[in-house]
Amino acid sequence: MSKTPVPKGFTPVHSARFGKKGSQKLAGYEADGGYASWKKVAKGWKSGDFTPAKIIDMVKASGLRGRGGAGFPTGLKWTFVPPKEKRGGKPVYLLCNADESEPGTFKDRLIMEEDPHQLLEGMLIASAALDVKHAYIYIRGEMVRCAEVLNEAVAEAYAAGYLGKDILGSGLDIDLTVHRGAGAYICGEETALIESLEGKRGHPRIKPPFPAVSGVWDCPTVVNNVETLAAVKFILDNGPEWFKGMGRNEKNTGPKLYCVSGHVEKPGVYEAPMGIKFMDLLALCGGMKGGKKLKAVIPGGASAAILTAAEVADLPMDFDGVAAAKSMLGSAAIMVMDETTDIPKAVTNISKFFAHESCGQCTPCREGTPWLNKMLKRLIKGEGKRDDLDLLLQISNQMGNGMTICVFSDAAIAPVISGITKFRDEFEAYLSKAKAPDFALAAPAEVTPKVADRVAEGIHG
């Protein structure tokens, strides 16, 4: 059983079987009651005891919100798929977003590596609800082990008749394919994921049309996160009321996996009811590392605005709670920073990530992310200029709010804006350390390293 501590009175859900011997195997999963819900659905399908509407209503009633980042109500998203008569004969696709690459996020990986069948069962139920004949798991390229475990689990599920044609005599035909990406952060954005699955470059699409209407291969498509789809299984196991019973309020419900990293005694994935207070979560992690003082927290992955120690002092870690503090729960990747952390350096590091991962379509993002990074790098090298902080903020403000196709650009600026506004004195300290010459004429021209490599390899030029 999971050795990770949980809050008092809370029984682990997603993580219940993590670490258990043979937890990945079908036999063990079934022994622990796995696939009971799927069997119920399959059995009730012909009799009409289970209908798509019934499942969708259960998901809606549970209050489940997407665990991939935006916290969009899952049941509502499912209703955006046009009814059969309006689809013009097109199939519906379900895509599980397993691209998990938001810095600080490592929860989906655990589900897939430790208990893959909970995801498969959730996907099967969702597929039945959405009239999906073929579902895909789009998994981040680097997660080789996950893909192996998943593929084994899929093979087991086919062999057991949970997947395939006329599943358990229900008349339902569902296939499931695990597709490995090539390791680009942007492929976690749902429309980039769709493009990538189609075999194209992972470029986010302009919306509308939204995937529910026209997604992969121009067919109605639902994209959900791993944890979201796994939660569907537990909602069917225990009922929507049970799910709703966990959590802070009607809109923030269910169990939640939190990925805690940084300056805590025991970093890791912790499961708790949605809306656990930050300080309680910190306590589960054994508190601050070495008893140091808390300085700042990134509550939802690199894309989330940095919060100060004061802002998290009484913060419920759920979608609306973190949003009220002008940041976001995102993928619940909580990065804890103690008093020794150099915020400008942390922000620079994050900006490097975004400059590296921008897909390059939109001018503000393609040009803005490296510009921010170059300025920040110069700043922490002690070559900052008086106007740099204001310029950083101005550029950031030019990159968000509709200026780009996807919200990557909005994500890229959140740490910069919050870092500078909340920890301005630290940035100014770098400015006061700045060396004399105020112009960069002598700076060597930047050479795109990959391009240079290609030339060296003689591939081009």
Ligand X SMILES: Cc1cc2nc3c(=O)[nH]c(=O)nc-3n(C[C@H](O)[C@H](O)[C@H](O)COP(=O)(O)O)c2cc1C
**Contacts to ligand X by CB under 6 A:** 66-70, 72, 74, 97, 99-102, 186, 188-190, 223-225, 228, 406-408, 411
Region of 15-23, 301-309, 331-339, 361-369 interacting with ligand SF4 (CB under 6 A): 361-369
User: Cβ distance 250 to 284 under 8 Å?
Assistant: no
Bridge partners (DSSP) of residue 297 are 307, 336
Region of 329-337, 389-397, 401-409, 443-451 interacting with ligand SF4 (CB under 6 A): 401-409
DSSP letter, residue 289: G
Distances (CA, A) of 384 to 84, 344, 375: 59, 12, 8
Output the CA angle 456-459-461, nearest 5 degrees: 75
CA contacts within 13 A on the Cβ side of 312: 27
Region of 227-235, 292-300, 318-326, 358-366 interacting with other proteins (CB under 8 A): 358-366
Report in angstroms how near the CB of residue 207 gets to ligand SF4 at its nearest. 11
Report in angstroms how near the CB of residue 101 gets to ligand SF4 at its nearest. 13
Question: Of 252, 358, 396, 418, which one interacts with other proteins (CB under 8 A)?
Answer: 358
Q: Is 398 in the site for other proteins (CB under 8 A)?
A: yes
Q: Which of 156, 143, 136 is nearest to 28 (CA)?
A: 156
x/- contact string, 197-226, with other proteins (CB under 8 A)?
Answer: ----x----x-x------------------
Report in angstroms how near the CB of residue 92 gets to ligand SF4 at its nearest. 25
Euclidean distance between the first and the last CA atom of the chain, given in angstroms as a whole number: 58
Report in angstroms how near the CB of residue 188 gets to ligand SF4 at its nearest. 11
User: Rounded distance, CA 270 to CA 233, Å?
Assistant: 20
Q: Is 174 exposed, middle or buried (0-12, 13-18, 19+ CB in 10 A)?
A: buried
User: Rounded distance, CA 122 to CA 226, Å?
Assistant: 9
DSSP letter, residue 195: H
User: Rounded distance, CA 274 to CA 252, Å?
Assistant: 6
Strands 175-180 and 221-225: unpaired
| Closer residue to ligand X (CB): 228 or 348 | 228
Binds 318, which of ligand X, other proteins, ligand SF4, none (CB < 5 to 8 A, cut-off by type)?
Answer: none
Token pair, residue 394, equals 């101005």
Q: Is 451 in the site for other proteins (CB under 8 A)?
A: yes
User: Cβ distance 234 to 50 under 8 Å?
Assistant: no
Q: Could you give the residue ranges of the DSSP H alpha helices within 239-342?
A: 240-245, 278-284, 309-312, 319-324
Q: Is 437 in the site for other proteins (CB under 8 A)?
A: no
Report in angstroms how near the CB of residue 401 gets to ligand SF4 at its nearest. 12
Q: Is 404 in the site for ligand SF4 (CB under 6 A)?
A: yes
Q: Is 366 in the site for ligand SF4 (CB under 6 A)?
A: yes
Binds 72, which of ligand X, ligand SF4, other proteins, none (CB < 5 to 8 A, cut-off by type)?
Answer: ligand X
Binds 460, which of ligand X, ligand SF4, other proteins, none (CB < 5 to 8 A, cut-off by type)?
Answer: other proteins
Q: Is 184 in the site for other proteins (CB under 8 A)?
A: yes
| Closer residue to ligand X (CB): 41 or 226 | 226
Strands 255-262 and 268-273: antiparallel
User: Cβ distance 338 to 380 under 8 Å?
Assistant: no
User: Cβ distance 227 to 18 under 8 Å?
Assistant: no
Query: Looking only at residues 339 through 358 of this chain, which bind ligand SF4 when binding is defined by CB under 6 A?
Result: 358
Binding site for ligand SF4 (CB under 6 A): 186, 204, 358-362, 365-366, 404-406, 408-409
Binding site for other proteins (CB under 8 A): 184, 201, 206, 208, 355-371, 374-375, 378, 385, 391, 398, 401-405, 439-440, 443-448, 450-452, 454-455, 459-461
